[in-house]
A and B are shown apart, each in its own frame.
Chain A
Amino acid sequence: MKSLLLYLGSVGIIVLRSLRQHALSSLVTILSVGLAAGLVMSVFSVARQSREAFSGGPVGFDAVLGARGSQLQLVLNTVFHLETSPGNIPWSLYEEIAAHPRVDLAIPYAVGDNFEGFRIVGTNARIFDSVYFGDNSESKTLLSFSPNSRVFDEARREAVIGSFVAAETGLTLGSHFNPSHGVSEMGASALSDSAQHHHEQEYVVVGVLEPSGTPADRVLWIPIEGIYRMDGHVLRGDGEVFAAEDGHEIGDDHKEVSAVMLKLKSNRDGFFLSQEINGGRTDATLAWPISASVAQLFDKLGWVSRVLELVAYLVVVVAAGSILASLYNTMNERRREFAILRSLGARRRTVFAVILCESSLIALFGSLLGFVFYLLILSVVAGVVRDQTGVVLDVFAYHPALLWTPIGMLGVGAIAGLLPARKAYSTDVAETLSRS
């Protein structure tokens, strides 16, 4: 036991001294390994987290009913507030689905306006008291209001705004704003202010929501009636063009909605409703389950993931090469050192172990640094994803890549050290010492 400890101690002392002696090249190599490890972990973790975040938790609904067309477009438009609306459906369809025995809750959405690029969604107050948002865990909650906030009055020009909207636009309780016509496909930055038509209707902010980590953070909610009454908006609920006038009620036959957000009584009901609407009707599309539509998108984008994985693996190969090169380059100068150590009684296997430990230690330090790079990369990516979609990625979430990447890097490091270790192992002591 004592001799084993002495052996390990000997190897450790020589390895640490060598790393210190070649500090610059060791540092550069550790940096490259760290970058590689960080990239690999990030690619796998971001891929999984985005998929889970988009297809799982923050949705709050089971299904979306909208105009006939792409289910994915419908989901992106209504759940993530991206993309354009595939079209409108008449109010009668909303009433029909709301009364359907398989439907637990139906909430109408009307979109088409924005404020400083953030979507305005016309809906009713039930979005605040009946729909649970949240992450992937079981901790879904109602959207919660900041102090002194309240739900809009459906008969007034009042708005409730998401936390991100408040932070970005400066709107706060009591602020007034005029909606603008149109929506951006890609988020807030894609609409230029000068190119927009500002509606004359002025809204007052009566509620600011607490951050929810969901796309709801990026939305301004107003009563659905407000959308109908914006200047320049026309309704075609019964096929005829109708423009609402102040002081006059709008008949239900004129009304239309962009989509109806649904909570179903059970999964089984989703299946049958999907059959009924998608298979038996031509005037509407039911996106169910919502996660399947998003999963479809990720499947379509699967090649991007694979390209990124390939790039990450290539970076690992480059890092392994840099370990090999940095050790191999020092071998000529170190051959004398190893010959001296051998003359002092170090065995061949000791100098072999020294090089292997050195390459593994570089990989280990690199992997530890990789976690720093990983956190940096993920923070940036999570920030971008949050800015663009409101979906929050958990920087600290566990992914198996966080375990197997460092282990893999250690293996790669050890393999990269084999060639220089072999060179150290085969050092001819007598010949090397006689030449130096």
Chain B
Amino acid sequence: MTLLRIENLKVSFRDPGGDLSVILDVPQLEMAQGEHVCLAGRSGSGKTTLLNAIAGIRRTDEGVVEVSGTDVAKLSESQRDRFRALNIGYVFQTFHLLGAYTALENVLMGMLFGAGPDRVFAAKLLDELGLGDRLRHKPHQLSIGQQQRVALARALANKPKLVLADEPTGSLDPGSSLEALGLMRRACTEHGAGLLVVSHDQKVIDDFENHLDLAAINRAAKGHGGGA
């Protein structure tokens, strides 16, 4: 069963000179339910833009972005917000945790606009990710790896069908990056979520059976070569 289907997706932006530049032009991309896929791409290949378009954070110009049968591109902005809250978890490269909130509260905030706050489930998630004794710590009191796990717990908080991860090992030291990735993949599997990772880290790319070169599928990317 298809989890993600992209067809003829185009995203452009207006440069400072006022000209319209296409930064994403993806003719086809599909992902099955529960599948883990890695999109490899260098800086400027449109990785983050693609994830933002799938999450409905960025408006698309053309094409289909279907998540679990719903074309996100056709939804209004507030419908996209609601859809994202209920169906998509997002782990940002720099985690984007709320500094004034504790680890537990960060996860609860993830639930606030989706399934609704569930303190027990939020604590369970953090416990599963090894943060059972860090619930009341604020982000600045946590290590980078722990912050990433809070971000992951927050992404899983609404039991999403799809988790998007932007350079998930980008802020971690090389020694712990694969361990963190493994944790993320296990957690997504346990919670039945598909995982779409974008990364330029070869170790991460190699960890996935399904990996695609974004430069190959994005016709607007520099160095677009047309192959997978």
Contacts and interface: CB of A to CB of B under 8 A. Distances in A.
Contacts of B57: 342-343, 429-430, 433
B78 A344 contact: no
Nearest to B157: A344
A1 interface: no
Nearest to B116: A6
Given A6-B116, A340-B96, A345 B81 contact: yes
B98 A337 contact: yes
A21 interface: yes
B110 A344 contact: yes
B112 A10 contact: yes
Listed residue (A9, A21, A340, A346) with the most chain B CB atoms within 10 angstroms of its CB: A340
A192 interface: no
A339 B90 CA distance: 13
B77 A348 contact: yes
Interface in B73-98: 77-78, 81-82, 84-86, 90, 92, 94, 96-98
A341 B116 contact: no
A73 interface: no
Contacts of B92: 343, 433
A342 B112 contact: no
Contacts, number: 68
Interface string B155-182: 0000000000000000000000000000
Contacts of B109: 341, 344
A346 B58 contact: no
Nearest to A333: B99
B55 interface: yes
Interface residues of A, number: 26
Contact of A17 (B55, B82, B100): B100
Nearest to A11: B112
B96 A17 contact: no
Given A10-B112, A10-B113, A17-B100, A349 B78 contact: yes
B79 to A, nearest CB: 10
B58 A345 contact: no
Nearest to A13: B112
Contacts of B48: 430, 434
A350 interface: yes
Majority secondary structure, A binding face = helix
Nearest to B100: A21
A343 B112 contact: no
B113 A436 contact: no
A9 B116 CA distance: 10
B78 A343 contact: no
A347 B96 contact: no
Contacts of A349: 78
B81 A346 contact: yes
A250 to B, nearest CB: 87
Interface in B40-92: 48-49, 52, 55, 57-58, 77-78, 81-82, 84-86, 90, 92
Contact of A345 (B52, B82, B98): B82
B113 A346 contact: yes
B114 interface: yes
Contacts of B110: 344
Interface of B: 48-49, 52, 55, 57-58, 77-78, 81-82, 84-86, 90, 92, 94, 96-98, 100-101, 109-110, 112-114, 116, 154
Question: 4 closest pairs, A vs B, by CB?
Answer: A345-B85, A345-B113, A21-B100, A10-B112
